[in-house]
Structure 1
Amino acid sequence: MSKTRRISCLAAAASAIALAATGCGAPDEGESDRGAVPDDATDCANYEQYGDLKGQTVSILGSIRDTEADEMMEAWSYFESCTGAKVDYEGSGEFESDMKVRVDGGNAPDIALFPQPGLMANFKDDLVPASEEVTKLATEGWTEDWLNYGTIDGTLYAAPNSSNAKSFIWYSPAFFNDNGYEIPTTWDDLIALSDQIAADGVMPWCVGFESGGATGWPGTDWIEDIVLREGTDLYDQWVTHEIPFNDPRIVAAIDKAGSILKNESYVYNGTDTISSTAFQEAGYPLLDGQCAMHRQASFYGAMWPAETNVAEDGDVFAFRFPEAKEGDNTMLVGGEFVAAFSDSEATEAMRQFLASELYHGARLQTGPWSTARQGVDPSKATTPINEFATEILTDPDVTVRFDGSDLMPGEVGASSFWTGIVQWVDGDKDSQQMADDIEASWP
């Protein structure tokens, strides 16, 4: 999602990963980005373990739609043809509200692809815990950080599905090379580079927080990236409300973000345009040299104009959001989790397949996508940015933390945090007032 969260094009309802890859102004991926199912995934011998599922149907509900949904279904097409099972997928632009209606009405899907662990936990009493085999596959495939997000009250319910690297800063490699700029590796380096670019007559940053009914979510990522780099313990305590949202260290992180986002010498078109600039197009001035950097997740690779060469030596690429100090190795992430409401034979087989290296390797090659599943070959990704993201996401030495606002209660993560950061960047509230008001909204 894009930003993995509860939004659609018009209202706060679906994930922004779906938004980034499907509707809301994202350009369609060209056929050149479309891969094919690899040979090992077309060999029916690799599906014999699932048995004969002829006549059985598995219903799946997710927020993924359009081209991305087609590419996902292509990756499991041989599971269907080789086992005889029928997989009935539905992509919803209002996933969160649809899930509640379905479950409350006794019409839950067999499997749901949850983009928010916090939302998934709301349905714990209706979910089927991961079987011994799914647990084995998940444990061998993902680091403990990832497994924790599929675990509720000590029980694993869901293996991860897609993964997105969120701590990315987009830039023009040619612009950096022509001016002798080096990729910053620490926050101090980032500020020094921003100062240098400004002194050279170019605005260092392009920023946009507008996203319809979900306006403000791109700003929450800035705060999450900074808090994470102040310390994983602090991040975890903040997200779980072990410390209040207005803890002095969180207020300091908001101020730290403000040293860029509220700096008139840094922001293209002025800080007063941030909340009204659509996030989908906010990075485009990079292409004309009107700004130098734009913070956005790996999914943004699908949002550049169709003719843009997204590559390390292309028109645009991304580097990792710098650490607070040398030696740290963190990444803010988003993604979906495969949870089940049914324990049918076909549902269990599908859960196992979706947790397998076979599926993740296939999905990596059917279209732009990234995964944290151990064992896949990142070089098989269909785009350079997805290869880069998958390299990071599958590196066990990288400490990952899931998008904080997606873990917070909806009243905060998809409401007061969004509106609060807009009021803050517009100058209507200072950092302390913003944090105080969000803390007061915590249920």
Structure 2
Amino acid sequence: MTRRTTTARRRALALAAGGAGLALVLAACSDPDGEGGVGEEETSAASAEIDCAAYEEFGDLDGKTVSVYTSIVDPEGATQQASYDAFEECTGVTIEYEASREFEAQLQVRVKAGNAPDIAYLPQPGLLNTIVTNYPDVIKPAPESVAANVDEFWNETWKGYGTVDGTFYSAPLGANAKSFVWYSPSMFEDAGYEIPQTWTELLDLTQQIHDDNDGAKVWCAGVESGDATGWPGTDFIEDMMLRTAGVEAYEQWYTHEIPFNDPKVVEAWDAAGEILKNPDYVNAGLGEVNSIATQSWTDAGNGILDGNCWMHRAANFYQTQWPEGTEVSEQGDVFAFYLPTDQTDVKPMLGGGEFVAAFADRPEVQAFQTYLSSDDWANQKALATPDGGWVTANSGLDPNNLATEFDQYVAGVLADPNTVVAFDASDLMPGEVGSGTFWTGIVNWLTGASTQEVTDQIEASWPK
């Protein structure tokens, strides 16, 4: 597989810079009958703008099929698929997309049964490590064309997350930033509340809101996510680990240089519990503390829209979970602020992302891998996501192609070399822990178990 030429990439980016024109291209490919607001004349004009020269390196793939398995379900799944339209149109390949909320559990079942997809988007580097270790040679090393793209467009740290024992397997796809608190700007303004700048100020504000509103609960939360139930709670713990123990101890935690029940880890869980296990503060509009364990993460924050909830901690991609028509802006229905820290020398940002793993090395599979690792795809994906909620750390992304000011801000944070972005710890831990006992431990903790009990149980589960 040869690398896409610089000239071809620039042609694709020049097309991307057309903005609205390329948006019509994507709409035309995914909606050939003109439904959804794109008329026949617009479709024809937009289709003519596709510059297939940018895809010539991949050759003629007509009649070929590449299967993709992922946890990226609708509505994000729809925009993910739309970002493939130009690639499919120009190469003739068909991308068969399958998404499941039970992805983490089902992927390993399929691998063990010899029924792996051509490509899977792994949300945990720890899962990559587990599969490579337990099923040698099942995941194929990334081709040179993918490695070259990652070397050009990504910080070397990201390449390391897709590498196991010195072999580079998986290129990063999207990226996300998780250290945010969602709120209603109008509720804050009407009440005269300021955005807190430290963790202490955030706790003080929480108590003030509780007191000012006749003992109302302040925070809403939910960690239910099918077979992946518990993962949103791990994000809260990780955010607190960064804020109470610091980045160095955080790295020692996920590499198991310190045990999972180390006092620093216990302190971080207890700090999260100042909110999540406080019956005065949760679960606004939804129930008591234990209701967090059964409340779906996808709509746990909706109480902000109807005034039942004041704050909800969630990642930047929660933007896609708000009901249709919700305005996400500082003057709109909802917005988010940085989850503050009492630290004065650093502002850590908990991050995450997916990694493209290939279980086949046919030419069409490697072609799709290469496309997904390119700046071309990053810009296509941005333009295919008109409602926002997606970013990437790919440096070839033109931030002007992102749909919202919030997305542009997040992309800037991720791309800034001075930002301390700490990758999601549970995603870097062995799969048995990161997407196993850590998840179930969150549920046990929210339904009555103590911090010490839960952290002791998780430590005992760490692979020897």
Gaps of 5+ in 1: 1-30
CA contact (8 A) 2:102 2:226 kept: no
The answer as to whether partners of 2:121 and 2:355 remain within 8 angstroms in 1 is: yes
Going from structure 1 to structure 2, the CA distance change for 1:252 and 1:98 (only over 3 Å counts) comes to closer
The equivalences for 1:230-269 within 5 A come to 230-267=245-282, 268=284, 269=287
For the residues of structure 1 that align with 2:47 and 2:395, how far apart are their CA atoms? 19
SS at match of 1:361: helix
| Alignment match of 1:421 (pick from 442, 451, 462) | 442
How far apart are residue 246 of structure 1 and its match?
Answer: 0.5
Q: Work out whether 1:88 is the aligned partner of 2:102.
A: no
Task: Confirm or deny: 8 A CA contact 1:55 1:86 kept in the other structure.
Answer: yes
Q: Which whole-Å CA distance do the structure 2 matches of 1:228 and 1:347 have between them?
A: 38
Task: Call closer, same or farther: CA 1:430–1:74 in 2, change over 3 Å.
Answer: closer
2:240 pairs with 226, 249, 258, which one? Answer: 226
Q: Deviations over 1:331-381 (max 9, x none)?
A: 222221112223322222221111111111011111242222112123322
Q: CA, structure 1 residues 318+441, in 2 after alignment: closer, same or farther (shift >3 Å)?
A: same
Contact kept in structure 2, 1:203 and 1:265, CA below 8 Å: yes
Once the two structures are TM-superposed, the CA of residue 173 in structure 1 deviates from its matched residue by 0.9
Q: Is the 8 A contact 2:75 2:320 kept in 1?
A: no
Question: Could you tell me which of 420, 444, 452 is aligned with 1:432?
Answer: 452
The 5-angstrom pairing of residues 401-416 of structure 1 reads 401-416=422-437
d(CA) in 2 for partners of 1:243, 1:143? 27
In the TM superposition, 1:258-297 aligns within 5 A as 258-267=273-282, 268=284, 269-297=287-315
Give, in whole Å, the separation in 2 of the partners of 1:335 and 1:423.
26
Alpha-carbon distance in structure 2 between the residues aligned to 1:78 and 1:239: 39
Among 136, 139, 145, which residue is 1:127 paired with?
A: 139
State the match for 2:8 in structure 1: none
Q: Distance in 2 between matches of 1:94 and 1:60?
A: 15
Q: Deviations over 1:64-123 (max 9, x none)?
A: 344433322221222222223333333344433443344344443332221221222233
Q: Which residue of 2 aligns with 1:79?
A: 87
Give the RMSD, CA atoms, in angstroms: 2.7
User: Any idea what SS the aligned residue of 2:310 has?
Assistant: strand
The one of 182, 185, 192 aligned to 1:180: 192
Alignment of 1:95-106 (within 5 A): 95-106=103-114
Please say which structure displays the higher CA radius of gyration: 2
How far, CA to CA, are the matches of 1:205 and 1:99 in structure 2?
34
Deviation track 1:143-202 (CA, whole Å, cap 9, x = no partner) reads 233222111112221111122221111001112222332222321221222233223225
Letter in 1 for 2:59: G
Aligned partners of 1:340 and 1:347 also within 8 Å: yes
CA distance, structure 2, for counterparts of residue 40 and residue 152 of structure 1: 43
Matched, 1:206 2:220: yes
CA–CA separation in structure 2 for the residues paired with 1:223 and 1:398: 20
Equivalent in the alignment of 1:13: none
For residues 279 and 105 of structure 2, the distance between their equivalents in structure 1, rounded to whole angstroms, comes to 39
Measured after TM superposition, the shift of residue 41 of structure 1 is 8.5
Kindly, what percent of the aligned residue pairs are identical?
Answer: 49
Matched residue, 1:113: 121
Q: Which one of the candidate residues 325, 329, 332 is aligned to 2:347?
A: 329
The answer (yes or no) to whether the contact 2:102–2:227 under 8 Å persists in 1 is no
Q: How many aligned residue pairs are there?
A: 409
Q: Which residue of 2 aligns with 1:391?
A: 412
Per-residue deviation at 1:300?
Answer: 1.7
Residue 359 of structure 1: aligned partner: 377
Q: Do the aligned residues in 2 keep the contact of 1:208 with 1:277 (CA within 8 Å)?
A: yes
Is 1:42 aligned to 2:54, yes or no?
A: no
Whether the aligned pair in 1 keeps the contact of 2:129 and 2:430 (CA below 8 Å) is no
CA contact (8 A) 2:119 2:359 kept: yes
8 Å CA contact 1:205–1:291 kept in 2: the answer is: yes
Cα displacement (A) at 1:297 = 1.5
Contact 2:139 2:358 in 1 (8 A): yes
| 1:316 to 1:123, Cα distance in 2 relative to 1, 3 A | same
TM (norm. structure 2) is 0.80
CA–CA distance in structure 1, aligned partners of residues 181 and 400 of structure 2 = 21
CA distance in 2, matches of 1:290, 1:372: 35
| Alignment equivalent of 1:158, drawn from 170, 195, 201 | 170
1:298 matches 2:316: yes
Map 1:142-157 to 2 at 5 A.
142-157=154-169
Q: Check the 8 A contact 1:40/1:358 in 2, yes or no.
A: no
Which residue is equivalent to 2:17? none
Partner of 2:335: 317
Measure the CA separation in 1 of the matches of 2:154 and 2:321. Answer: 28
Are the equivalent residues in 2 in contact too, given 1:41–1:78 (CA < 8 A)? no
1:53 aligns with 2:61: yes
Corresponding residue number in structure 1 for 2:22: none
**CA–CA distance in 2 between the matches of 1:196 and 1:189?**
10
Query: 1:213 deviation in Å?
Result: 4.5
Q: Is residue 2:413 matched to residue 1:370?
A: no
CA distance in 1, matches of 2:438, 2:73: 27
Report how far residue 399 of structure 1 moved: 2.3
Distance change (3 Å), C-alpha of 1:105 and 1:207: closer
What one-letter code is carried by the residue in structure 1 that aligns with 2:363? Answer: E
Please give the alpha-carbon distance, in whole angstroms, between the structure 1 residues aligned to 2:188 and 2:434: 35
* Selected match of 1:216 from 205, 230, 234: 230
Aligned to 1:318, what secondary structure does the other structure show? Answer: strand
Q: Secondary structure, in 3 states, of the residue corresponding to 1:288?
A: coil
CA shift for structure 1 position 55: 4.3
Equivalents in 2 of 1:221, 1:158: separation in Å?
23
Separation in 2, partners of 1:156, 1:238: 24
TM-score with structure 1 setting the length:
0.83
Inter-CA distance 41–192: structure 2 relative to 1 (3 Å threshold): farther
